[in-house]
Amino acid sequence: YDLGLKMSADLILRLVGKDRIERVAEIVRIMNETGLRASELLRASDKLPRVECTNCVYHDLAKDYPAVCRFDIGFLSGLMGAEVEHQSCMHREATACRFRFKPYS
């Protein structure tokens, strides 16, 4: 988690001045630049798009060390400045990893 937060700090400037929806779009671009196949997923009940990844660059490592998934949570949290819910995980046999940004309290 902490390493993900640290890595996000170098990219924060790309998000300055963007609203939350624009931030999600930029976060998806950043994730795609790192080799992930990320996209925005918007359900009718969502106020903010979720992030979905259909590949996992850590898949083999996560089999033995499930905590590696916390990197993505820290990275996304740092970029958005909000808590992230890891809704599904390819490591846990889902078809994609899905992340939802929790509303500000």
Cα 45 from Cα 34, distance rounded (Å):
29
- Beta strands in 34-78, from DSSP E residues, in sequence order: 38-41, 50-53
Contact 24, 36 (CB under 8 A): no
Cα 60 from Cα 65, distance rounded (Å):
9
Give the model confidence (pLDDT) of 11-66 as tens digits: 999 999 999 999 999 999 999 998 899 999 998 888 899 999 999 877 778 778 87
More confident of the two residues 72 and 61: 72
Q: What is the value of pTM for the model shown?
A: 0.89
Query: Which residues have CB under 8 Å from 85's CB, separation 6+?
Result: 99, 100, 101, 102
Band (74; pLDDT cuts 50, 70, 90): very high
Query: What's residue 105's pLDDT?
Result: 59
